[in-house]
Chains A and B, each alone.
Chain A
Amino acid sequence: MAGESQSTVGYIQHHLTNLTYGKLPAGYERLDESGHVHEVLTQDTWTLAHSSVEAAAMGFMAIHVDSMLWSIGLGFLFLVIFARIAKRAHSGVPRGAQNLLEMIIGFIDQTVKDGFHHKNAMIAPMALTIFMWIILMNTMDLVPVDWIPAFMAWVTGNPHFFFKVVPTTDPNVTLGMGFTVFGLMVYFTIAKKGFMGFVKELTLHPFHSPKWYVNVLLVPINFALEAISWISKPISLGLRLFGNMYAGEMIFILIATMFGAGLVLGIFAGVLQWAWAVFHILVITLQAFVFMVLTIVYMATAHQVEEEDQFH
């Protein structure tokens, strides 16, 4: 909530900063809240960032503790529950949890069968993981934005303790999944078509000529086009999810800033928050579904041995 000690901008910024644990370089000047130099580091130090400036200064050698905690925690939550149900699954009349799980699995199995016509037992479990995991991570968005950060501030005794609860509003998380999908695409392409097949795919498409000397000229053009098309896949995957969730989270935060502005605005904000949450349920499931379907499509492309390749 936008208290007296925090400006609205500060409040928003606080909500958008991850709990970052990383390495600050030697010689870095740590500032306290009033902007004075608090300490100068004499050596590289692994520590929690006290501000978004420090988090930025850590560069690549840092990790978002809150994102990882929530994403891994939620992943384990659903997988452990699913595994327990799955272990007791029987072919009799399904009841309760097993029924629910079978509905989800049946739905995903159907989606995979529609989009992926090759033999690979990993694709369906991967689709299940993506779908359930992203849904759960996105659903954290429906928890009122102040609850968990306020709770963590109370637990740690630090009112400025950073704690973001929606992992998918962290581009690292979404891009991490996007690039993993990308890596798997490359892996399956090479596994299916050989390394030369992969190279051919990058250089002999989309322009192709039967004359070899023309082909040589076309290779750089093809490569440029194909490289863009390949690299855009993981980035669009990651950024689409991130953008949607980040925007949604942002609106929740903006609505939350109204809570401190009097009774009338507060009630109005409550109504708005409820309405936005209802709308957001759609975004949550849709984004998870889109991510899953695109992954299936990319995997199918990776497995696709084109007829043309067989003649070369």
Chain B
Amino acid sequence: MNINLTLIGQSISFLFFVWFSYKFVWGYIRTAMDEREKQIADGLDAADRAGRDLELAQEKATKQLREAKAEAATIIDAANKRASQIVEEAKDVARTEGERLKAAAEAQIEQDVNRAKEQLRSQVAKLALVGAEKVLEASIDESVHKDMVDKLAASL
């Protein structure tokens, strides 16, 4: 239990060991640990960011889906409207066309009737003349009585 040079020897070795552990142990390990801490922190950050990105993407996708649906609905609406419009138009066109055709047919018929009447009238005049000729034989001068016969025919 004597105090002697061992005291100083121990002090020197202590200081040396402190320096040694500072120089060759602590720095390396702390660097590695700090680096890993940073990597982990970065990784967590990235994971966080990815999560947020995913959320945003999902939101965006939902929004787009909703928009697409709305657009589709609008398009279908418009299409329906257009279809009924086309149908209406077609109906209109058909009606007008029908009326036009009917009018034309009616005009044609009238024309035909008029023509037939005309022919009939001329035929009748002729027939009357022929009859009267037969009845009167020569007593009637065609040129003299023509006016009278025409008047007769026109009254038919």
Is A156 interfacial (CB 8 A cutoff)? Answer: no
Query: Quick check: A128 and B5 within 8 Å, CB to CB?
Result: no
Report the separation of the CA atoms of residues A197 and B10 in the bound assembly, to the nearest whole angstrom.
Answer: 30
A239 to chain B, nearest CB (A): 12
Residue of B nearest to A83 (CB): B24
Residue of A nearest to B28 (CB): A86
Chain A: how many interface residues by the 8 Å CB criterion?
Answer: 54
Query: Quick check: A102 and B5 within 8 Å, CB to CB?
Result: no
How many A-B pairs fall under 8 Å by CB?
Answer: 138
A162 to chain B, nearest CB (A): 13
B interface footprint on A120-158 (CB within 8 Å = 1, 0 otherwise): 011011101100010000000000000000000000000
Query: Quick check: B10 and A68 within 8 Å, CB to CB?
Result: yes
Specify which of B6, B31, B32 is in contact with A172 (CB 8 Å cutoff).
Answer: B6
Query: Quick check: B7 and A109 within 8 Å, CB to CB?
Result: no
A interface footprint on B15-54 (CB within 8 Å = 1, 0 otherwise): 1011011101111111111011001000000000000000
Residue of A nearest to B24 (CB): A83
B59 to chain A, nearest CB (A): 36
Contact A91:B39 (CB < 8 A) given known A75-B13, A105-B26: yes
B interface footprint on A253-285 (CB within 8 Å = 1, 0 otherwise): 000000000000000000000000000000000
A85 to chain B, nearest CB (A): 8
Is B1 interfacial (CB 8 A cutoff)? Answer: yes
Query: Quick check: B28 and A89 within 8 Å, CB to CB?
Result: yes
Residue of A nearest to B13 (CB): A72
Query: Quick check: B22 and A58 within 8 Å, CB to CB?
Result: no
Contact A129:B17 (CB < 8 A) given known A172-B6, A176-B9: yes
Residue of B nearest to A21 (CB): B5
Specify which of A91, A124, A129, A171 is in contact with B14 (CB 8 Å cutoff).
Answer: A129
A13 to chain B, nearest CB (A): 11
B64 proximity list for chain A (CB < 8 A): none
Query: Quick check: B2 and A56 within 8 Å, CB to CB?
Result: yes
A124 proximity list for chain B (CB < 8 A): 26
Query: Quick check: B6 and A68 within 8 Å, CB to CB?
Result: yes
A85 proximity list for chain B (CB < 8 A): 29
Is B139 interfacial (CB 8 A cutoff)? Answer: no
Is B155 interfacial (CB 8 A cutoff)? Answer: no
Contact A75:B17 (CB < 8 A) given known A86-B28, A105-B30: yes
Specify which of B4, B8, B24, B32 is in contact with A22 (CB 8 Å cutoff).
Answer: B4
Residue of B nearest to A173 (CB): B10
Query: Quick check: A128 and B10 within 8 Å, CB to CB?
Result: no
Query: Quick check: B24 and A68 within 8 Å, CB to CB?
Result: no
Within A35-94, the residues touching B (CB, 8 Å) are 55-56, 58-64, 67-68, 71-72, 75, 79, 82-83, 85-87, 89-92, 94
Contact A176:B39 (CB < 8 A) given known A89-B32, A126-B18, A129-B18: no
Specify which of A59, A91, A175 is in contact with B32 (CB 8 Å cutoff).
Answer: A91
Contact A83:B25 (CB < 8 A) given known A22-B4, A91-B35: yes
- Residues of B in contact with A (beta carbons under 8 Å apart): 1-11, 13-15, 17-18, 20-22, 24-33, 35-36, 39
Q: List, sorted by A's number, 22 A–B pairs whose CB atoms are closer than 8 Å.
A: A55-B2, A58-B2, A58-B4, A68-B6, A83-B24, A86-B24, A86-B27, A89-B28, A89-B32, A91-B32, A91-B35, A91-B39, A101-B29, A133-B17, A172-B6, A173-B6, A173-B7, A175-B7, A176-B14, A177-B14, A180-B10, A183-B11
- Residues of A in contact with B (beta carbons under 8 Å apart): 16, 18, 20, 22, 55-56, 58-64, 67-68, 71-72, 75, 79, 82-83, 85-87, 89-92, 94, 98, 101-102, 105-106, 109, 121-122, 124-126, 128-129, 133, 167, 170-173, 175-177, 179-180, 183
Beyond the given A75-B17, A86-B25, A86-B27, please list 17 additional residue pairs across the A-B interface where CB-CB is below 8 A.
Answer: A20-B4, A22-B4, A58-B2, A62-B2, A79-B24, A86-B28, A89-B31, A89-B32, A91-B36, A105-B26, A125-B22, A125-B26, A133-B14, A172-B2, A175-B3, A176-B7, A177-B14
